[in-house]
Amino acid sequence: MRFKNIIYVAILVLTTVITSWSIPALVKKIVYESNGYPLMYYSSRLKELCIIDFREMNDAFRDVKGNVYPRSQYDSLLPLMNYRQLAMNGNLPDSLEGYAMDVKVLRSKQVVYRFRPSDVYSPQPKMGVLLEAMPKRGSLSLPGDYFRMNDNEMVFVNAETNSVNDAKSKMFTDELLKKGFEFPAKAFWGNPTVRKAYEEGYFCLDNKGELFHVKMVNGRPFVKNTGVSKQVDVKWFVMREVSDKRFYGYLFGQNGELGIVESNDDGGYRFIKMDVRPVDITKDDITIMGNLLYWTVRIYNSESMDCYGLKTSTLESLTTYHQEKEIGTWDKVANFVFPVILSPSSPDNGYINCYVLHFSASAWILSVILALLVFVFMRKRLALQKNLIVSAVVALTGITGVIAFILLPKNRFE
């Protein structure tokens, strides 16, 4: 009898887990309505953030002050975003704020980047590819080996023979130690592809939290302590070899700082912090759209969005916009009906697992009522022990627990 109870509970729990995912997913498809955040861009003409939302046909293009503009003015009010279209139509202005509107320059100054929390949750490669930064034939090519950071050395491994290149490993390890690098490395970030204009190697975080720049120049190691750890406690880095070579990549600090690492006049490095709110890389999506004069930075999550218009040269904030997430029909239903929603996938993680996507204390009022009803109606048809188990499951999971109980085999009442 005890074994049967164990099987009964196992089937009930498994069925409840499945219904806690499938039933909310089905209801969401029925009642879901789009309530995402609009695209935003800082207008060099209006000197204000503009909202671009072509889901709203009447107010598709407007500024944050509420002024609505016709679709015909869309390109001309955002010339640094739509310069290609303006150039094709012959409407690209000759200059803007004292800068000549040259298509090649505008293209090189464009910055487009999106950060997702899944970038952090995804496993990071244990090996990297260090390309030659000054190739003799002008184009990047794979070196034929890979490197890994061991506890006390940088090791290069031949890709074909899987053998260690001792000479190259010693050469880079000695240079790292000479420049003050302390093993083991906490992390290293690069962009291991030949589909880019140039190579800047890797940024490596050593055991002391110092950020080092490592690359290969004419077959020799180039290692330099960036010194940016004196300005910010490094948490994450994203290598971006941008067209104009202004900066190396985006840096995230332990205290929510977001900024770029760029070269200074004496060949060193400096961290320029973006004038935005602190970011949480485990929950915030970040979209950066930059041009010759201004950057637009959107930081958003499931609760709200903050958008900033920044000056390109200093990344100082010129204007800000805040928008709370609209509560749609699905949100109201979920908060009232489902105390817990499970799912094998997560919007912040690309891997299969059992995730809790929703947790609502208010929905437990309905769950407790359902649990009491189940206990009362099943007290004569179900053994007391099983009745208590079913009632407890329903109290925890609500209507999905009731459906799971109904789906049990016909002999569930025995």
Which pLDDT score, from 0 to 100, does residue 59 have? 62
* Stretch 125-143: mean pLDDT: 90
Query: At residue 54, does pLDDT exceed 70?
Result: no
Which pLDDT score, from 0 to 100, does residue 226 have? 96
| Joined tokens for residue 153 | 């050395």
H/E element, 63: strand 61-63
| Joined tokens for residue 224 | 């330099």
Please state, for a pLDDT cut of 90, what percent of the chain lies above it: 54
Q: Which of 53-62, 66-75, 123-132 shows the highest mean pLDDT?
A: 123-132
Model confidence pLDDT, tens digit, residues 318-362: 999 999 988 778 788 888 888 888 888 877 777 788 888 888 888
Distance of CA 147 to the CA centre of its chain: 26
Model confidence pLDDT, tens digit, residues 380-401: 777 787 788 888 888 888 888 8
Please report the beta strands in 163-293, taking only residues with DSSP state E, as ranges in sequence order.
187-190, 202-205, 211-217, 220-225, 234-239, 247-253, 258-263, 269-273, 285-290
β-pair partners for 341? 358
Which pLDDT score, from 0 to 100, does residue 2 have? 65
Query: At residue 309, does pLDDT exceed 90?
Result: yes
Q: Is 222 in contact with 215 (CB distance < 8 Å)?
A: yes
Which pLDDT score, from 0 to 100, does residue 138 have? 76
Q: Is 414 helix (H, G, I), strand (E, B) or coil?
A: coil
* Stretch 10-20: mean pLDDT: 83
Which pLDDT score, from 0 to 100, does residue 362 have? 83
DSSP secondary structure code for residue 72 in this structure:
G
Which pLDDT score, from 0 to 100, does residue 29 have? 85
Query: At residue 220, does pLDDT exceed 90?
Result: yes
Query: At residue 244, does pLDDT exceed 50?
Result: yes
Please state, for a pLDDT cut of 70, what percent of the chain lies above it: 95
**What is the average pLDDT score of the chain?**
89
Model confidence pLDDT, tens digit, residues 180-206: 999 999 999 999 999 888 999 999 999
- Does the N-terminal peptide bond of residue 344 adopt cis geometry, omega within 30 degrees of 0? no
Place of tokens 């332990």: 254
Which pLDDT score, from 0 to 100, does residue 221 have? 96
**CA distance readout (Å), 249 to 65, 153, 189, 365, 392:** 33, 25, 10, 49, 52
- The residue that leads in pLDDT, 203 or 65, is 203
- The residue that leads in pLDDT, 159 or 32, is 159
Residue 412 pLDDT grade (very low, low, confident, very high; cuts 50, 70, 90)? very low
Q: Is 125 helix (H, G, I), strand (E, B) or coil?
A: coil
Which pLDDT score, from 0 to 100, does residue 81 have? 93
| Helices and strands, counts by H and E, the chain | 10, 23
Model confidence pLDDT, tens digit, residues 154-173: 999 999 999 999 999 999 99
Q: Which of 76-85, 110-119, 173-182, 355-364 shows the highest mean pLDDT?
A: 173-182
Query: At residue 79, does pLDDT exceed 90?
Result: yes
**In terms of C-beta distances under 8 Å and separation of at least 24 residues, what long-range contacts does 312-320 make, across chains too?**
312/109, 314/272, 315/259, 315/260, 315/272, 315/273, 315/274, 315/275, 316/275, 317/275, 317/276, 318/42, 318/47, 318/294, 319/42, 319/47, 319/48, 319/49, 319/64
Residue 414 pLDDT grade (very low, low, confident, very high; cuts 50, 70, 90)? very low
Query: At residue 56, does pLDDT exceed 70?
Result: no
Which pLDDT score, from 0 to 100, does residue 57 have? 59
Q: Is 27 helix (H, G, I), strand (E, B) or coil?
A: helix
